Chains A and B, each alone.
Chain A
Amino acid sequence: MDFRTDRKRVDGLGSAKDGTEHHWKMTLSSWGLLILIPLFIFTFGSTLGSDYETAVAVYSRPFPAIVAILTLVVGWMHFKGGVQVLIEDYTHGSTRTTLIVITTCLSYAAAVAGTFAIVSIAL
């Protein structure tokens, strides 16, 4: 007699072992970006094209700097997840692995470079 519940009997037997984590991360980051993107578009957009002194002055202020850092970090992590699904849908084998490694490295590098730049402007 098996006293385990139906759920317990099949738990961990799926081929992927996980699956909801990726969707949850994309959902969470999309909610974050929903707030950040409009704030970023209007703070960054109005600064783009201005001269050096003005741009430095804008990003020395806490609000534009914090919005920009959050947008870059959350945005690049959202891109990392999204582009991974794109790669998984259209490529296979070692091409898939290579592309996922490249885009993951690129996402972290870009997010960190942007963050480092904004912090050094602000401080």
Chain B
Amino acid sequence: MADVNRGNRPLSPHLGIYKPQLTSLTSILTRITGNALLLAALMIVWWFVALASGPEAFATATWWITSFVGDLIMLGSAWALWYHTLAGIRHLYWDSGRGLEMETAEKLGKAVIIGSFVLTLLTIIVV
């Protein structure tokens, strides 16, 4: 009896079934950027420890961090940090019970993406 409709039931929500949307994309990017910042955060701690250790250790750390790969990591992390910050503001706004309508959520998603690139560009100019 219970098996009569097997195979013809609605599928449960699953990542492999859902079409990628702006809302889901911006959500997973929040997690990816937040956790990827581990690398830059470790490099920053290294920079401070090297600065406290003396000129030689500092020269080594600075060389690595401002090398081509280091610069690439720092630039990517600057974007990740701004993205995660803006996405975090969106979460704080959502936590207040506002902005959860689909249309508003999509608009906020676009604002987070555009804003993260604008702030990264600003960081490159100022820093």
Contacts and interface: CB of A to CB of B under 8 A. Distances in A.
B is a partner of A = yes
Interface of A: 27, 30-31, 33-34, 37, 41-42, 44-46, 48-49, 52, 55-56, 59, 68, 72, 75-76, 79, 82-83, 86, 110, 113-114, 116-118, 120-121
Residue with the highest number of chain A CB atoms closer than 10 Å, among B45, B58, B59, B74: B45
A82 B41 CA distance: 14
Chain A at the B interface: mostly helix, strand, loop or mixed?
A: helix
Contacts of A110: 41-42, 45
Residue with the highest number of chain B CB atoms closer than 10 Å, among A46, A52, A72: A52
A27 B78 CA distance: 22
B78 to A, nearest CB: 7
Contacts of B65: 48
Given A41-B78, A48-B65, A49-B62, A118 B48 contact: yes
A121 B42 contact: no
A30 B92 contact: yes
A116 B37 CA distance: 21
Contact of B49 (A34, A59, A113): A113
A72 B47 contact: no
10 tightest Cβ-Cβ pairs between the two chains A and B: A45-B127, A117-B52, A117-B48, A114-B45, A117-B49, A52-B55, A120-B52, A110-B45, A52-B58, A30-B88
B47 A48 contact: yes
